[in-house]
Structure 1
Amino acid sequence: MVLNVGHGNCSFIHDGSTSVVVDVPNALPLLGAMASSDADVIEHLILSHADNDHIKGAAALMAHSEVVVKSLWVNPDSTKLSDAFLDLLTVAADRQSRGLLNVRTNLNVGADGLLDIRRIGVRILHPGIVWAGIGPTGKDHPSGPISSNGMSAVVRIELDGQPAVLLPGDLDSKGFSEMRKAQVDMKAPVLVFPHHGGRSGAPDNRAFAADLATAVKPRLVIFSHGRTHFMNPRKEIIDGIRDALGSDVQIACTQISRACHEKELPLISAQGDLLSGQTACAGSVRVTRTDDGILWEPHASRHAQTIDVLESPLCRSHLRGGLSADSTVVSQSRRSADD
């Protein structure tokens, strides 16, 4: 499940009572999702990089009395001086010393196979060994500048061996170029777009979005962002996705972007999660592995209840009639594992 956490990223993947969590800016929506799924064990807490909108709730989650976090995966980053990152490392060190947590600081392609649990496969597609060894750099490094976003771990979730969701964190254009140079297979039916649909670091954001969409070939693109932060997703990002995939892709935001609707109105919410209120668009998105393949909800028709009353929904730009209610068939039947 890609959770509606406002501006940030959090994905909760569970098989029965056992789960994997990727990023946690705010623990409350995650705790709600875990309670409703009867999941109280997190085998792996994976933090893609050290930005607050990906890690700020991690320390509280690890210290929560009703949740067991068995292992933490995080990469070193000496450029991050935030209180949240230092608190996270302090809590992690304390719990490791008391035998309550295993801390791993090697979140890179070398971790492949170490993160799988039951029917959930977790593939680390980036950073590679060289970049992981170097870490974020300045412009004077022989490898050139590598930002924290460029080092963001790219995680692909597989359900019963089938690619399901690509979680690129805040991957930037240089990190994406490094993945393409290494000929990484990034394909997945669901893409949570990097950096919440903001600037990619590329000279041409539209071309970056088109190239990423072409590499991943998603049927659903999710923008996880908060209505009160920035103006994401950027229009040129949406245009790039449409350039690559046309009307064959569904686009959904967790919350209503101010770029789509400036005014505050009593809008119909597609999904009633903790942060919905009048701000949710698709809300939290549940991805399911069924006999029919990888499917998701909310269904396009349910999502359209919100989109239909927006002033200028970007997800329908360049589409003459918008996505039809039947453009995506979603079912919860025959569920075997959830993201």
Structure 2
Amino acid sequence: MVLNVGHGNCSFIHDGYSSVVVDVPNAIPLLGAMASSNADVIEHLILSHADNDHIKGAAALMAHSEVVVKSLWVNPDSTKFSDAFLDLLTVAADRQSRGLLHVRTNLNVGADGLLDIRRIGVRVLHPGIVWAGIGPTGKDHPSGPISSNGMSAVVRIELDGEPALLLPGDLDSKGFNEMVKAQVDMKAPVLVFPHHGGRSGASDNRAFAADLAAAVEPRLVIFSHGRTHFTNPRKEIVDGIRDALGDGVQIACTQISRACHKNELSLAVVGSDPLSGQTACAGSVRLTKTDDGILWEPHASRHAQTIDALESPLCRSHLRGSSSADKGVVRQSRRSADD
């Protein structure tokens, strides 16, 4: 499940027995999702990089009295010294010393296979060994500048051995180009777009979006963002995705973007959805592994109603002229694994 956490990223993967979490800016939505799945143990807590909108809830989650986090995976980053990051490391060190937590600081391609648990496969596609060894750099480094976003771990979730979800964190254009150079297989049916649909660090954001979409070939692209932060997704990013994939790809935002609806939200727009919040568009997106592949439920009927009420929805070209199934009617099927 890709959770609606406002401006940030959080994914909860649960196969009925085991759980993996990737990023946690706010523990409250995650705790709700875990409770609904009767899950109280997280085998792996994976933090893509040290920005607050990916880690701010991690320390509280690890210290929660009703949740067990068995292992933490996080990369070093000497350029980050926020209170949230320092608190995270302090709590992790304390729990490690008391035998309550295993801390791993090698979240890179060398960890491949170490994160798999039961039916959940976790593939770390980036950073590679060289970049992981170097870490974020300044402009004077022989390798040139490598930002924290460029070092963001790119994780692909697999269910029963099949790609399900690509989580690139805040991957920037230089990091993406490094993956292309290494001929990394990035394909997945669902992509959570990096940096919440904001600027990629490329000179041409539209071209970056097109190249990334072409590499991943998703059927669903999710923008995880908050309505009150920035104006994501950027139009040129959405246009780039359309350039590569046409109108066949479904685009869903967790919250209603100001790029789609500038005016104040009314009840006619947001309807009533206490679980996802009154600024939700698709809200939290549940993915399901079935015999027919990966299906999803983006709060479908409400999502379509919300989009119809928006001033200028960027994803409208997909909905116009589509069948009711394409408009997000929830598809009923036998569930075998959720994420």
**Residue pair 2:288, 2:294 contacting (<8 A) in 1 also:** yes
Give the 3 Å change call, closer, same or farther, for CA 119–196 of structure 1 in structure 2.
Answer: same
How far apart in 2 are the matches of 1:20 and 1:270? 32
Equivalent pairs: percent with the same residue? 87
Q: Aligned letter for 1:166?
A: L
Name 1:16's counterpart in structure 2.
Answer: 16
Name 1:326's counterpart in structure 2.
Answer: 325
Name 1:167's counterpart in structure 2.
Answer: 167
Give the secondary-structure state (helix, strand or coil) at the position aligned to 2:61. helix
Deviation of residue 266 (structure 1)?
1.2
Aligned-residue CA RMSD (Å): 1.5
**Residue pair 1:205, 1:237 contacting (<8 A) in 2 also:** yes
Name 2:222's counterpart in structure 1.
Answer: 222
**Residue pair 1:199, 1:205 contacting (<8 A) in 2 also:** yes
Q: Aligned letter for 2:60?
A: A
Name 2:198's counterpart in structure 1.
Answer: 198
Name 1:102's counterpart in structure 2.
Answer: 102
Larger mean CA deviation between 255-264 and 53-62 belongs to 255-264
1:335 aligns with 2:335: yes
Query: TM-score, normalised to structure 1's length?
Result: 0.96
**Residue pair 2:285, 2:299 contacting (<8 A) in 1 also:** no
How far apart in 2 are the matches of 1:288 and 1:228? 30
Q: Aligned letter for 1:244?
A: A
Deviation of residue 316 (structure 1)?
1.7
**Residue pair 1:210, 1:242 contacting (<8 A) in 2 also:** yes
Name 1:233's counterpart in structure 2.
Answer: 233
Q: Aligned letter for 1:106?
A: N
Unaligned runs of 5+ in 1: none
How far apart in 2 are the matches of 1:190 and 1:198? 18
Name 1:52's counterpart in structure 2.
Answer: 52
How far apart in 2 are the matches of 1:270 and 1:303? 10
**Residue pair 1:269, 1:282 contacting (<8 A) in 2 also:** no
Name 1:80's counterpart in structure 2.
Answer: 80
How far apart in 2 are the matches of 1:38 and 1:307? 32
Q: Deviations over 1:129-162 (max 9, x none)?
A: 0000000000000000000000000000001111
Deviation of residue 326 (structure 1)?
2.0
**Residue pair 1:169, 1:195 contacting (<8 A) in 2 also:** yes
**Residue pair 2:284, 2:299 contacting (<8 A) in 1 also:** no
Deviation of residue 221 (structure 1)?
0.2
1:295 aligns with 2:305: no
1:140 aligns with 2:140: yes
Query: TM-score, normalised to structure 2's length?
Result: 0.96
How far apart in 2 are the matches of 1:97 and 1:150? 31
1:276 aligns with 2:274: no
Larger mean CA deviation between 178-187 and 299-308 belongs to 299-308
How far apart in 2 are the matches of 1:32 and 1:57? 14
Q: Deviations over 1:70-100 (max 9, x none)?
A: 0000000000010000000000000000000
Q: Aligned letter for 1:5?
A: V
Name 1:251's counterpart in structure 2.
Answer: 251
How far apart in 1 are the matches of 2:108 and 2:319? 42
Deviation of residue 334 (structure 1)?
1.6
Q: How many residues align?
A: 337
**Residue pair 1:149, 1:171 contacting (<8 A) in 2 also:** yes
Give the secondary-structure state (helix, strand or coil) at the position aligned to 2:309. coil
Deviation of residue 337 (structure 1)?
1.1
Larger mean CA deviation between 14-23 and 40-49 belongs to 14-23
Name 1:4's counterpart in structure 2.
Answer: 4
Deviation of residue 265 (structure 1)?
1.4
Q: Aligned letter for 2:294?
A: I
Q: Aligned letter for 2:237?
A: I
Unaligned runs of 5+ in 2: none
1:186 aligns with 2:193: no
Deviation of residue 59 (structure 1)?
0.1
Name 2:307's counterpart in structure 1.
Answer: 307
Give the 3 Å change call, closer, same or farther, for CA 123–269 of structure 1 in structure 2.
Answer: farther
